[in-house]
Chain A
Amino acid sequence: MSRPGSSPDEKGVSQNGDPGGHRPVFTNTLNAAVSPETRLLSAFARDTQARKVDLAGREYYSEEGRPFELRLVGKIKQQLSTDPTLHPEYPSSLGLREFTRKATEVALGKHSRAIVENRVLGVQTPGFTAAVRLGAELLRCWYDPSACWCGPVYLSSPCDDSLTGIFQAAGIQEIPSAHYPTGADLSQSQWAVITRLITRRRLFPFLLLPTQALCCGDMERDAWPVQHCASLGMELLCAQSFSHCFGLYGEAVGHLLCVLKQNSVLLPVRSQADKIVRSLWARPSVGGAHVVTTVLSNSAHLVEWQGEVKHIVERCMLIRAILREKMRLLGTPGRWDHLTQQGGLFCCTGLNGEQVEFLSNRRRVYLLPGGCLNVSAINCRNLDYIAESIHLALTSSL
Chain B
Amino acid sequence: QETLREEKQESEGKSDVPQAPPVAVFKLTADFREDTHPQKVNLGVGAYRTDDCQPWVLPVVKKVERLIVEDESLNHEYLPILGLPEFRSAASKVALGDDSPAIKENRVGGVQALGGTGALRIGAEFLRRWYNSVNNTATPVYVSAPTWENHNGVFADAGFKDIRPYHYWDAAKRGLDLAGFLDDLEKAPEHSIFVLHACAHNPTGTDPTQEEWKQIAEVMKRRKLYVFFDSAYQGFASGSLEKDAWAIRFFVSEGFELFIAQSFSKNFGLYNERVGNLTVVSKDNENLTRVLSQMEKIVRTTWSNPPSQGARIVSKTLNSPELFEEWKGNVKTMADRVLLMRDQLKAKLQALGTPGTWDHITQQIGMFSFTGLTPKQVEYMIKEKHVYLMASGRINMCGLTSKNIDYVAQSIHEAVTKVQ
Contacts and interface: CB of A to CB of B under 8 A. Distances in A.
Interface in A45-94: 57-59, 66-69, 77-78, 81, 87-91
Contacts of A372: none
Interface centre among A1, A31, A58, A252 (most CB of B within 10 A): A252
A19 B115 contact: no
B157 A279 contact: yes
A278 B274 CA distance: 13
A127 interface: yes
A336 interface: no
A14 interface: yes
28 contacts: A20-B283, A24-B284, A28-B130, A28-B134, A31-B290, A32-B293, A35-B300, A57-B77, A59-B77, A66-B76, A67-B76, A87-B54, A127-B307, A133-B301, A162-B304, A169-B301, A202-B10, A250-B77, A264-B12, A268-B17, A269-B14, A271-B19, A279-B117, A280-B117, A281-B118, A284-B274, A286-B272, A287-B273
Contact of A126 (B17, B253, B303): B303
Interface centre among A1, A24, A133, A247 (most CB of B within 10 A): A24
Given A128-B304, A252-B303, A284-B274, A32 B221 contact: no
Interface in B1-49: 6, 10-20, 22-23, 45, 47
B255 A283 contact: no
Contacts of B278: none
Contact of A282 (B20, B75, B150, B255): B150
B55 A87 contact: yes
A5 B287 contact: yes
B231 interface: no
Contacts of A265: 13-15, 17
B156 A90 contact: no
Nearest to B62: A81
B130 A287 contact: no
A227 interface: no
Contacts of A287: 272-273, 307, 309-310
Contact of B12 (A81, A243, A262): A262
Contacts of A314: none
Given A169-B298, A262-B13, A129 B309 contact: no
A225 interface: no
A13 interface: yes
B286 interface: yes
B351 interface: no
Nearest to B65: A81
A262 B15 contact: yes
Given A5-B290, A30-B290, A166-B301, A283 B115 contact: yes
A27 B287 CA distance: 7
A261 interface: yes
A251 B309 contact: yes
A249 B78 CA distance: 5
Given A88-B55, A261-B11, A287-B307, A278 B287 contact: no
A222 interface: no
A66 B74 CA distance: 11
A285 B297 contact: no
Given A14-B254, A279-B154, 12 more contacts: A19-B253, A26-B287, A58-B78, A133-B302, A265-B14, A267-B19, A271-B19, A278-B23, A278-B150, A279-B150, A281-B303, A282-B118
A215 B296 CA distance: 31
A250 B79 contact: yes
Interface in B182-237: 221-222, 224, 226
B406 interface: no
B66 interface: yes
A39 to B, nearest CB: 12
A29 B291 contact: yes
B17 A272 contact: yes
Contacts of B289: 1, 31
A78 B67 CA distance: 11
A185 interface: no
Contacts of A35: 297, 300
Contact of A280 (B121, B290, B309): B121
A24 B283 contact: yes
A249 B117 contact: no
Contacts of A5: 283-284, 286-287, 290
B308 A169 contact: no
Contacts of A275: 20, 153
A133 B121 CA distance: 14
A107 to B, nearest CB: 19
Contact of A278 (B54, B55, B153, B306): B153
B76 A88 contact: no
B349 interface: no
Given A29-B290, A202-B10, A267-B19, A165 B309 contact: no
B407 interface: no
Contacts of B74: 69
A279 B11 contact: no
A1 B300 contact: no
A270 to B, nearest CB: 9
B77 A29 contact: no
Nearest to A22: B224
Nearest to B298: A169
A91 B115 CA distance: 12
A90 B271 contact: yes
Contacts of A38: 296
Closest 10 CB pairs of A and B: A19-B255, A261-B13, A250-B308, A129-B304, A24-B283, A20-B255, A281-B114, A282-B117, A169-B301, A252-B307
A97 B233 CA distance: 29
Contact of B76 (A68, A90, A165): A68
Contacts of B78: 58-59, 243, 249-250
Contact of B307 (A145, A165, A251): A251
B133 interface: yes
A152 interface: no
A126 to B, nearest CB: 5
A88 to B, nearest CB: 5
B246 interface: no
Contact of A127 (B12, B69, B131, B304): B304
B150 A25 contact: no
B118 A280 contact: yes
Interface centre among B273, B293, B302 (most CB of A within 10 A): B302
Nearest to B45: A90
B300 A126 contact: no
A260 B11 CA distance: 11
Interface in B373-414: none
Interface string A327-348: 0000000000000000000000
A7 B107 CA distance: 14
A32 B305 CA distance: 18
B273 A67 contact: no
B200 to A, nearest CB: 18
B140 interface: no
A44 interface: no
A379 interface: no
A281 B271 contact: no
